[in-house]
Structure 1
Amino acid sequence: MITLLIVDDEPLVRSGLRAIFEGTADLAVVGEGNDGAEVPSLVARLRPDVVLMDVRMPLVDGIQATRNLLGDGTRMPAPKVLVLTTFGSDDYVYEALRHGAAGFLLKRSRPEEIIQAVRTVAAGDSVVFPEAVRQLAGPGHKGSAGRVMEGLSAREKDVLGELAAGRNNAEIASALYLSPETVKTHIASVLAKLQVRDRTQAVILAYETGFIRPGAHPAGHAAARRHGRRQA
């Protein structure tokens, strides 16, 4: 059973989300909050697996609440945070992702999309929409972070490209002709070398450093490698 905490200052949104999850056998809402200020105490008391976090709330917004909850990533176990937003290009979403949110959902998403997103982040994956990340995380200067990218192996770069395309582990394994366990190993190595907490932050860094260029297909270089292998 995956337990959920819903944090949103709109009662109608909270009740709508609760109704969606009541129809599932593996998801259970264990609590609700109407502001980010309530999150620490609610999480400490209820121990949810996933927090659905609104971005804009009157006292403590979702970004600060995410930062307070996840901190530097050393306080474990911590729930996964799935950000709820009205606009996919909201800069607040980008900040939440940078502070450790596992992904984000548009409030207009279909019920089945919301359910799948919760299951995805609870399983340790991320929910990142490549088009939105391309808009939110424009390329910055390469600097030391760019040099870290150069330290990735060719296969690790392929895996990072697939992550940036929004693919999960099984899809990456299929695309790169690898076993799921090998994909996990490569992802762990990428996160360690980039010194980031999770795959979402790795994708953001890939865009910020220019490793992935806005407008380019994130996994294009991996596809080229695969094409070359098939031609060989």
Structure 2
Amino acid sequence: MTPPVRPVRILLCDDHAVVRAGLLALLGGEPEIEVVGEAGSGEEAVALAARLGPDVVLMDLQLGPGIDGVEATRRITSGAGAGTANVLVLTTYDTDADITRAIEAGATGYLLKAERPEELFAAIRAAAQGRTTLSPPVASRVMARMRSPRPTLTERELDILGQLSQGLGNRDIARALFISEATVKTHLGRIYEKLGVDTRAGAVAVANEQRLLS
């Protein structure tokens, strides 16, 4: 007699209670999936992952006050919270910067909330086995970035990007490089355009991914 298959144990992390309730209802109908806990913040997800030992953490990226989903993912996958769970990102955000940061943080998969339930179930099972699943739009972005040539930044732009990676604001960067804040802003605009991002965190993430500062 074949022994019963142990269900995949899931921890949900989303700061919207209505979303968590919807996921609970959806996943509750799958006999091979068991939701063992839910978290409304990144800090709570890290703590529960360590305490409950789920197979997969279903993680949103934007979590309101506190650490975001990327940092929570990094702590869970690095073992900082003593957990061993794989993290499957489930979000509405599909920018290059978001995808890059999540994957670099250790996410096993990246799924968009627009996917069909069957795709979510399959991605959860894959994540439990350590296999990667990407939504088609996400996979397309990843492939496009891999095929695109490494962006060429000027020496000054690299200087500013280096200061940016240290967490400095525009005023401090201007003082460090003996230029005006207006010049810093102009260079930042060009850096964002070349790297295909629209935030400081995104620029730093892409710079690390493409080893622009090494």
In the other structure, the counterpart of 2:8 is 2
In the other structure, the counterpart of 1:63 is 70
Q: What is the CA deviation profile of residues 138-196 of structure 1, one whole-angstrom value per residue up to 9, with x for unaligned ones? A: 75659xxxxxxxxxxxxxxxxxxxxxxxxxxxxxxxxxxxxxxxxxxxxxxxxxxxxxx
Q: What is the CA deviation profile of residues 105-145 of structure 1, one whole-angstrom value per residue up to 9, with x for unaligned ones? A: 10111111111100111122111242031356675659xxx
Structure-2 separation of matches of 1:30 and 1:56: 22
Native 8 Å contact 2:14 2:40 kept in 1: yes
Confirm whether residue 18 of structure 1 aligns to residue 24 of structure 2: yes
In the other structure, the counterpart of 1:108 is 114
SS at match of 2:10: strand
In the other structure, the counterpart of 1:120 is 126
Native 8 Å contact 1:91 1:136 kept in 2: no
SS at match of 2:30: coil
1:131 equivalent among 124, 128, 140: 140
**Amino acid paired to 1:70:** T
Structure-1 separation of matches of 2:145 and 2:14: 23
SS at match of 1:68: helix
Structure-2 separation of matches of 1:43 and 1:74: 10
The number of aligned residues is 145
Distance 1:61 1:20, change over 3 A: same
**Amino acid paired to 1:19:** A
Q: CA deviation at 1:78?
A: 1.1
1:85 equivalent among 86, 91, 113: 91
Q: What is the CA deviation profile of residues 6-49 of structure 1, one whole-angstrom value per residue up to 9, with x for unaligned ones? A: 00001111111111111111100000000101122101211100
Structure-1 separation of matches of 2:149 and 2:77: 25
Distance 1:8 1:135, change over 3 A: farther
**Amino acid paired to 2:74:** R
Native 8 Å contact 2:13 2:40 kept in 1: yes
1:44 equivalent among 39, 44, 50: 50
Distance 1:132 1:20, change over 3 A: farther
CA RMSD of aligned residues (A): 2.8
Native 8 Å contact 2:96 2:141 kept in 1: no
Structure-2 separation of matches of 1:102 and 1:96: 9
Structure-2 separation of matches of 1:14 and 1:124: 23
Q: CA deviation at 1:60?
A: 1.1
**Amino acid paired to 1:115:** F
Which of structures 1 and 2 has the bigger CA Rg?
2
Native 8 Å contact 1:50 1:118 kept in 2: yes
Distance 1:38 1:111, change over 3 A: same
Native 8 Å contact 2:127 2:133 kept in 1: yes
1:34 equivalent among 40, 65, 69: 40
Distance 1:74 1:86, change over 3 A: closer
**Amino acid paired to 2:142:** V
Distance 1:137 1:39, change over 3 A: farther
Task: Report the TM-score when normalising by structure 1.
Answer: 0.56
Gaps of 5+ in 1: 143-203, 210-232
In the other structure, the counterpart of 1:215 is none
Matched ranges for 1:162-177 at <5 A: none
Distance 1:77 1:8, change over 3 A: closer
In the other structure, the counterpart of 2:182 is none
